[in-house]
Chains A and B, each alone.
Chain A
Amino acid sequence: MNSNLTLLEVKNLHVSINENEILKDFNLKINQGEIHAIMGPNGSGKSTFSKVLAGHPAYSVLDGEILFKGLSILDLEPEERSHLGIFLAFQYPIEIPGVSNEDFLRLAYNAKQKFYNKPEVTPIEFFQIINEKLELVKMSPAFLNRNVNEGFSGGEKKRNEILQMILLDSELAILDETDSGLDIDALKTISAGINNFMSPSKGILLITHYQRLLDYINPTYVHVMQNGQITKTGSADLATELEAKGYEWLKK
């Protein structure tokens, strides 16, 4: 596995928001073909980490380095990081009134095409592309005409995130609690979508509270995050152990 290219390397990362240090000496390395799961109690900094990777402007990086495919991305804008291949499935996908899902998806797709000097697709061409992807997440084409996430149920919003992930086909996908609030059927659909997306050249970072997602998606590593850093790393078995014991026993 180590012969594979390193997708993401985070070294000694310190991050703050409003002068509160959230990430304290955070380290992580994800290679191609690996699925990493991060678990941990509320407030340990999991979502912060996902947003920092995507370049959210609210957070300040105090120290450390984030390398994506060997290049530092700290000075890159969120849209540049997106083009390079970082995708974030949001924990709370935001509603965008007045903008149709179809327009939104097509613009996102074309923005990436443009970045790689590929021809942009017309609405008709795009309709074909998106229709195939819709089936993968069991969404009806009617979703395309609705406004982005507006009036979507919790499950629909999460499926819409996975749809976008598949469409943009990014190399590194960060899924921030994509499994929370889903019923069993939706969880299965979404897991199938994620497994379909995964390939030997990609990497996935799953942020989750529950072991049940890992019944469908087999992680290469499970990390425990506490108080802004990773305190324990193990195999998929660690998740089962956490499910039974909680996090308290890991505290020093």
Chain B
Amino acid sequence: MINQSNKVLNTNITKLVNKTYQYGFSTNIEKDIIKKGLNEQTVTLISKKKQEPEFLLEFRLKAYKRWKQMSEPEWAYLKFPQINYQEIVYYSAPKSKKKLQDLNEVDPELLQTFEKLGISLTEQKRLANVAVDVVFDSVSVGTTFQDELSKYGIIFSSISEAVHHSPELIKKYLGSVVPIGDNYFSALNSAVFTDGSFCYIPEDTICPLDISTYFRINDENSGQFERTLLIAEKNSQVNYLEGCTAPQYDTNQLHAAVVELVALENATIKYSTVQNWYSGNEYGKGGIYNFVTKRGLCAGANSKISWTQVETGSAITWKYPSCVLMGDNSQGEFYSVALTNNYQQADTGTKMMHIGKNSRSRIISKGISAGKSKNSYRGFVNVLNKAHGARNYSQCDSLLIGNLSNANTFPFISVHNSTTKIEHEASTSKIGEEQIFYFLQRGIELEKAVELMISGFCREIFTELPLEFAAEADNLLTLKLEGSVG
């Protein structure tokens, strides 16, 4: 009965406007591109092209050496063909003849690209209350509101610039949260990262604007390896947003980013991501391989780091935004919605490392699997022996759409302190044909029905997102699911 009716329902659904990935276009622009392949010369060349100081070149070379000794992790519930790291281009930058003095000098083609993506770099039309750094393939093409932020002592720039204007901070913090040899992809990133954002919030400062980075992959053959470093000094607060899109190619592009957050005493960092890399077509061809290491260090007492992610894109997602709760009374949070459709695979979750006394963590994960996709939550709550009074609450909910999708939960909990309280809840539900029929019988169209059920399922997460992101996320999920219910 189910199979037959699915067929009928599916044909009903395909009648709906099946919008394609709206960010799938590519920009034709003159590029400075290096030969594909990775060896010591590539690493040196990247460093040279960026006119980096000696210490950074050493950092890169050390990372490269580590990487060569390591092998790709195989424990994730993901299946993909071997990545040939020698076939990837590690540096691709839009060509510009001279150093840009202000944003008006950015290539108009590029400006147009970002206008199309809804990100405006032009001063008149820029987003109110959000400062943006935009990264195109390997380099940052512009950062808004820099001057305004600097009045507060806030540094917000591309990491390449930061290497020059704040070398001490880079030296001190780069690799301090995610060490070079942490994992295969972080080692790779440390060797070849080309750009990313850098943000420094000084003591006693509440950042007056939301800080945001927008990542765009454009080139078909180059990988994107960006590096983000965010430091919040004592008693400071910042909201950070991250967005990503990529063109539609039949080939797969590798994206291996590293994000490091440091929160000192009483500091609060809220980091939100809406990930919408190209996910491949309905037959599983193309799409981004997304291997990302994100980690926050709650270094000081009473510090707090909160990760919110809405993961909808990429062919493969391997990502575990984590918190190291070192400070006493520090707090870590992870709010996630991961949606997979067609042949997408996601293995995502978080790690909460409790070291400080009374450290608290909260994990709310919502996985939605549709089509023939695989969606796994993988979590690790680790309470060390000195974390007296540590608490963790985890909730993992899965929602299945259709009969061919797959949802998994792998929660690991390790406790070395008897005064700890740990709670774990999990649920699995399904949007079934009978529910849809109930809506339809009441005159509510399919699209609306799915939207309503999905946003109900994700409500707890969306309330954590900044306003403009929440609306976007809601639309994005609905869009991604079109044609998948049955």
Residues of A participating in the B interface, judged by any CB pair closer than 8 Å: 17-18, 54-58, 77-79, 82-83, 87-88, 90, 93-94, 96-100, 103-104, 107-108, 111-112, 115, 147, 164, 168
In contact, A78 and B456 (Cβ under 8 angstroms): no
> Which residue in A79, A115, A147 is a CB contact (below 8 Å) of B440?
A79
18 contacts between A and B (CB under 8 A): A18-B4, A55-B441, A57-B5, A58-B433, A77-B440, A79-B445, A87-B441, A90-B441, A93-B438, A97-B429, A98-B455, A98-B457, A99-B456, A108-B444, A111-B442, A111-B445, A112-B443, A115-B443
Q: Which residues of A contact B456 (CB under 8 A)?
A: 96-100, 147
In contact, B438 and A58 (Cβ under 8 angstroms): no
B426 at the interface (CB under 8 A from A): no
In contact, A164 and B453 (Cβ under 8 angstroms): no
In contact, B434 and A99 (Cβ under 8 angstroms): no
Q: Which residue of A lies closest to B431 (CB)?
A: A96
> What total of A-B pairs shows CB separation below 8 Å?
85
In contact, B444 and A78 (Cβ under 8 angstroms): no
Assuming the A-B contacts A58-B8, A77-B12, are A96 and B435 also in contact, with contact meaning beta carbons closer than 8 angstroms in the complex? yes
Q: How far is the CA of A168 from the CA of B456 in the complex (A)?
A: 24
Q: How far is the CA of A98 from the CA of B442 in the complex (A)?
A: 18
> Which residue in B5, B435, B448 is a CB contact (below 8 Å) of A107?
B448
Q: Which residues of A contact B1 (CB under 8 A)?
A: 17-18, 58
> Which residue in A56, A83, A98 is a CB contact (below 8 Å) of B453?
A98
Q: Which residue of B lies closest to A92 (CB)?
A: B434
B437 at the interface (CB under 8 A from A): yes
Q: Which residues of A contact B413 (CB under 8 A)?
A: none
In contact, A94 and B434 (Cβ under 8 angstroms): yes
In contact, B441 and A82 (Cβ under 8 angstroms): yes
Q: Which residue of A lies closest to B454 (CB)?
A: A98
Q: Which residues of A contact B439 (CB under 8 A)?
A: 96
Assuming the A-B contacts A18-B1, A18-B4, A79-B445, are A57 and B453 also in contact, with contact meaning beta carbons closer than 8 angstroms in the complex? no
- Please provide the chain B residues from 403 to 461 with a CB less than 8 Å away from any CB of chain A in the complex: 429, 433-435, 437-446, 448, 452-453, 455-457, 459
Assuming the A-B contacts A107-B448, A107-B452, A111-B445, are A57 and B437 also in contact, with contact meaning beta carbons closer than 8 angstroms in the complex? yes
Q: How far is the CA of A79 from the CA of B4 in the complex (A)?
A: 20
Q: Which residues of A contact B9 (CB under 8 A)?
A: 57
> Which residue in B4, B437, B448, B452 is a CB contact (below 8 Å) of A78?
B437
Q: Which residues of B contact A78 (CB under 8 A)?
A: 437, 440-441
A177 CB, nearest partner CB in chain B, Å: 16
Q: Which residues of B contact A17 (CB under 8 A)?
A: 1, 4
Q: Which residues of B contact A112 (CB under 8 A)?
A: 443
Assuming the A-B contacts A57-B433, A98-B459, are A164 and B440 also in contact, with contact meaning beta carbons closer than 8 angstroms in the complex? no
In contact, A99 and B452 (Cβ under 8 angstroms): yes
